[in-house]
Amino acid sequence: MNAERNFPDWQELYRTTPNESLPWYHERLDADLEQALERWHVASGRALDLGTGPGTQALALAGRGFEVTGSDLSHAAVEKAAALAAERGASVRFVQDDILDSRLAERFDVVFDRGCFHCLPPERRADYARTLGRLVAPGGMFFLKCFSVLEPWDGGPYRFSPEDIREVFGERFEVLSVHETVYQGTLDSLPRALFVALKPR
């Protein structure tokens, strides 16, 4: 879980790489999120796409009627996502924000993290959980997708087991469900993932 990982310069990555070439690029709403929204009867409200990257998930949520904010550490990612939204006539607010020093002041009915948490330094996970506890509105839902310990590739993001998730988030969130799945994207072999549904305690 805590082996040292090296991650790209996110600003440079998004500045120089076409969105469609990113391993995690997925045009449609993430299938696990789609099923979770139906399972937990979440159909509207304010949504945060945390680590929005290409912005596709934010746009898909907006297409379902959510009032969406997409945030990312990378200015380049935010600029490209905003341009895509403008091109498609979608109403989404994109902001540059560091979740470990977040300037977001509002609370959200839905927060979705499809790839931010599992890139954070292990020593900052408690800070992340604390911030999410502030951002998720009472009665809201937090949906998290991250690499699973079952993923055999030894590079890339940190891996997590269901027990790890409960250890990181259990103080502030009730873990409603954890299931094994995959990351839809551009890779031939889809990485193994966990999809987690949580609600504030």
Tell me: the pLDDT tens digits for 38-61? Answer: 999 999 999 999 999 999 999 999
100 closest CA partner among 112, 116, 114: 116
* Least trusted range by pLDDT, from 12-26, 52-66, 99-113, 126-140: 12-26
**Does residue 190 surpass a pLDDT of 70?**
yes
Asked whether the whole model's pTM tops 0.85, one would answer yes
* Least trusted range by pLDDT, from 13-17, 93-97, 159-163: 13-17
Please give the order of strands across the beta sheet that includes 173-182: 92-96, 67-72, 46-50, 108-113, 136-147, 192-200, 173-182
